[in-house]
Structure 1
Amino acid sequence: MKVVVTGGTGFVGRALVVALVARGDEVVVLSRGHGAVAGARSVRWSPGERGGWESELAGAHAIVGLAGAGLFDERWTEARLREVRASRVDATALLAASIAERAPTTTFVNASAVGAYGMRSDDAILDESSPRGDDALSRLCAEWEAAAEPAAAAGARLCIARLGIVVGRGGGALEAMLPAFRAFVGGPLGDGRQWLSWVHLADTARALMFLIDNEACRGVFNVTAPEPATMNEFSTVLAATLHRPRLFRVPGFALKMVMGEGRADALLTGQRALPTRLLKEGFTFRFPRLEAAMADACGRPAQRG
């Protein structure tokens, strides 16, 4: 079947495209013209602009929206937040409008984030029915999700995938943390009690494919592993996986000085989100536990016992 993917050359998108190609799907990647994936056809698009890419939507069994500028790549200046918003909200709005016009009966799986629940410092367990937060990150997620709704109103089956922190080789948060741990200076951020709703890269791709394939799935789904971890637990497992000590802790004030307050606050807080709806629909995780996920992501054998 034909699947169209935006953001298909990014960390998560590439893993999804590789998996779709491996099972024999016809995959069209809408991209800015870089980082082609073997076996997929690339079509140039510029988020926010109409063009020839829209003709690819007709006849597509599913369309997956994963495009978006990185939230943690730069300080959260007003200009950067506008860029992040445009790459997510505006691009999704245009994609949804095009789906409504050209492929109103398709499946539309669009990314969001567990940041929708807000930057939290409590231990509350969050599922898809939990209330949204009221900070900059959760408001961005709310706009991002709302931008996809016109496709559903036109008849498309819409699934919103609220992604957690994706753990895998070659990108994501883990790639940013590895150098410090390998240099024996890694450790938790802040007090370490904040929750990380992580998910392995392979399970992220598998969950997105599950939403593509299962016609009964509609609405919001947390794409997170069933056992979230605190920052202390996450850094302890990473250190053990790399056979390194966990000696240092990065104080919150230092992180804010280096990264800026908004971006640092997002790392010093978290969400304890569970994949309640995915599990209810019958999805099974290949990496439900952090130890095995981290070992695979770091290219090391999983510890037994």
Structure 2
Amino acid sequence: MAIDPQIDGLLQLMAGSGHPPMWQQSPEDARRGFRVLTVDLRDPAFVPEVAAVEDVTVPGAAGPLAARIYRPSAGSAGSAPLPTVAFFHGGGFVIGDLDTHDLTCRTIATLCEAVVVSVDYRLAPEHPFPAAPDDALAAAHWVADSLADLGGSDRMGVAGDSAGGNLSAVVAQAFRDEGRPLAGQLLVYPVTDMGGSYPSHTENAEGFFLDTQTMAWFGAQYVGDPSALGDPRLSPLHGRLDGLAPAVVVTAELDPLRDDGNAYARALAEAGVRVEHRVFPGMIHGFVDMGRHSAAAQAAIEETCALFRTVLHDEAGR
């Protein structure tokens, strides 16, 4: 299927900006550019209102981490206890922060009727692997121990996009091993096999926002030791998958990471895990932040959140 016309218009606008591709930039410049795209150019009228936003610190593996708690506005759940979601942002383990994913967290809190705790884990190259998964797990432990004060129910999920989807999958596997049950995991175009080679890497190599040269640039910043590529904390597809929490796995047709997520969804299902898997046609990597530009992207976001809401609230089992 052809690319969504509204997203194509956005890509044409970005291509005409005159900025060099991310893989030709320093990490600092790439971070600034990503913030311009996701924060500075954001339309405030499109930002969902929530009941409260609170900046806090949570324990990381090597010290405190900045985090942000989103509480949804009162909806059909009223004052009833809500599930809590630990959210990990995308950005190739090199870029991204609490602000760049503010819109996504507000959307999940609102459409999934959940408290969302967004975690600002350490980034590469200053902090290469395994700093990010170590931080994600430490923060998730804090969330799990604080459910009574956060959402109030005993149901917890993990969620993330791209690199954050990778971290969510890693946390889900660790929680399974620790005997800590999760209500669900939302993996949006996740990185699941860092050393893998898939058709989508070639089919969607360039022209669709994320390109394979940028993926290689991210990997070079994040992975200092190539022998670690099979480590499940880096490539969760190589981990043990049975007994994991129900998963919503979302990929985009025109994303070089499409087949990473598709392979993980298939492997989860083969391991007996309950999986809802969607491949959204005409979409590209990053579409969850593009609803303000594309009606089709917004529809995909809403479908994704509806699926995860069902898992979080266990509506399918009622």
Q: TM-score range by the shorter chain?
A: 0.3 to 0.5
TM-score normalised by length of structure 2: 0.34
TM-score normalised by length of structure 1: 0.35
Q: Which has the larger Rg?
A: 1
